[in-house]
Amino acid sequence: MNEEIQRKLVGIVRGIAGAGVNPEPDESLFDAGYLDSFALLDMVAGIEREFNVKIPDADLNPRRFDSLERIGEYLQSRGV
Protein backbone atom coordinates (compact mmCIF):
# COMPACT_ATOMS: atom_id res chain seq x y z
CA MET A 1 0.00 0.00 0.00
CA ASN A 2 1.47 3.34 -0.96
CA GLU A 3 1.78 6.14 1.57
CA GLU A 4 -0.81 8.33 -0.09
CA ILE A 5 -3.52 5.67 0.15
CA GLN A 6 -2.56 4.89 3.75
CA ARG A 7 -2.63 8.57 4.68
CA LYS A 8 -6.10 8.98 3.19
CA LEU A 9 -7.40 5.83 4.90
CA VAL A 10 -6.07 6.95 8.27
CA GLY A 11 -7.82 10.26 7.68
CA ILE A 12 -11.13 8.49 7.08
CA VAL A 13 -10.72 6.36 10.23
CA ARG A 14 -9.87 9.46 12.26
CA GLY A 15 -12.95 11.21 10.92
CA ILE A 16 -15.03 8.37 12.33
CA ALA A 17 -13.19 7.24 15.45
CA GLY A 18 -11.52 10.48 16.53
CA ALA A 19 -8.52 12.56 15.56
CA GLY A 20 -6.32 10.91 18.16
CA VAL A 21 -6.43 7.37 16.79
CA ASN A 22 -3.47 5.97 14.93
CA PRO A 23 -4.27 2.55 13.42
CA GLU A 24 -1.41 0.30 12.36
CA PRO A 25 -1.62 -1.02 8.78
CA ASP A 26 -2.23 -4.62 9.86
CA GLU A 27 -4.32 -3.83 12.94
CA SER A 28 -7.98 -4.94 12.95
CA LEU A 29 -10.04 -1.77 12.91
CA PHE A 30 -12.86 -3.66 14.60
CA ASP A 31 -10.83 -5.39 17.30
CA ALA A 32 -9.11 -2.10 18.11
CA GLY A 33 -12.52 -0.49 18.61
CA TYR A 34 -12.16 2.08 15.82
CA LEU A 35 -15.12 0.70 13.87
CA ASP A 36 -18.35 -1.10 14.68
CA SER A 37 -21.09 -2.35 12.36
CA PHE A 38 -22.57 1.08 11.78
CA ALA A 39 -19.26 2.97 11.64
CA LEU A 40 -18.29 0.54 8.88
CA LEU A 41 -21.05 2.10 6.77
CA ASP A 42 -19.36 5.47 7.23
CA MET A 43 -15.99 3.93 6.43
CA VAL A 44 -17.23 2.50 3.14
CA ALA A 45 -18.91 5.80 2.23
CA GLY A 46 -15.69 7.64 3.09
CA ILE A 47 -13.61 5.32 0.89
CA GLU A 48 -15.99 5.76 -2.04
CA ARG A 49 -15.87 9.52 -1.66
CA GLU A 50 -12.14 9.87 -1.06
CA PHE A 51 -11.03 7.50 -3.84
CA ASN A 52 -13.89 8.21 -6.23
CA VAL A 53 -14.81 4.52 -6.52
CA LYS A 54 -18.19 2.81 -6.33
CA ILE A 55 -17.93 -0.32 -4.22
CA PRO A 56 -20.53 -2.80 -5.49
CA ASP A 57 -22.76 -4.65 -3.02
CA ALA A 58 -21.08 -7.94 -3.95
CA ASP A 59 -17.76 -6.57 -2.65
CA LEU A 60 -19.19 -5.42 0.68
CA ASN A 61 -17.72 -8.17 2.81
CA PRO A 62 -16.54 -6.79 6.15
CA ARG A 63 -13.36 -8.88 5.93
CA ARG A 64 -12.21 -6.64 3.08
CA PHE A 65 -12.37 -3.68 5.43
CA ASP A 66 -10.83 -5.21 8.55
CA SER A 67 -7.50 -3.37 8.35
CA LEU A 68 -5.86 -0.60 6.38
CA GLU A 69 -3.76 -3.22 4.59
CA ARG A 70 -6.80 -5.17 3.46
CA ILE A 71 -8.56 -2.05 2.32
CA GLY A 72 -5.41 -1.05 0.45
CA GLU A 73 -5.29 -4.46 -1.25
CA TYR A 74 -8.91 -4.10 -2.28
CA LEU A 75 -8.38 -0.62 -3.65
CA GLN A 76 -5.34 -1.87 -5.56
CA SER A 77 -7.49 -4.64 -7.07
CA ARG A 78 -9.87 -1.91 -8.20
CA GLY A 79 -7.07 -0.03 -9.90
CA VAL A 80 -6.80 2.81 -7.39
Partner 1 sequence: MASIAGFGRYLPERVLGNAELARLLGCEAAWIVEASGIEERRVAEAEETVAVLAERAAKDCLEQAGVSASQVGLVILSSGTSERRFPGPAAEVAQRLGLAGVPAIDLPLASAGSLFGLALAAQLAPMYGTVLVVAAEKMSAVARGEPLDRNVAILFGDGAGACLVSGGSGELEIVDSALHSDGAWAEHLRLEFSGPVQMDGRSVILQAARRIPAAIVEVLAKQGVEAGAVGTFLLHQANRNLTERVAKGLGVPAGRFFSNIQRYGNTSSASLLIAASEWWGPVALETGDWVCFAAFGAGFHWGAVLARKT
Q: How far is the CB of 40 from partner 1 (least distance, A)?
A: 6
The DSSP secondary structure of 9-78, one letter per residue, reads: HHHHHHHHH-TT----TTS-TTTTTS--HHHHHHHHHHHHHHHT----GGG--GGGGSSHHHHHHHHHHT
Among 2, 11, 33, 41, which residue interacts with partner 1 (rule: CB under 8 A)?
A: 41
Among 25, 30, 69, 80, which residue interacts with partner 1 (rule: CB under 8 A)?
A: 30
Tell me: does residue 68 bind partner 1 (CB under 8 A). no
Tell me: does residue 61 bind partner 1 (CB under 8 A). yes
- Does residue 50 contact residue 75 with C-beta atoms inside 8 Å? no
Count CB-CB contacts under 10 A for residue 11.
Answer: 12
Tell me: does residue 60 bind partner 1 (CB under 8 A). yes
Tell me: does residue 28 bind partner 1 (CB under 8 A). no
Residues interacting with partner 1, by CB under 8 A?
Answer: 30, 37-38, 40-41, 44, 57-58, 60-62
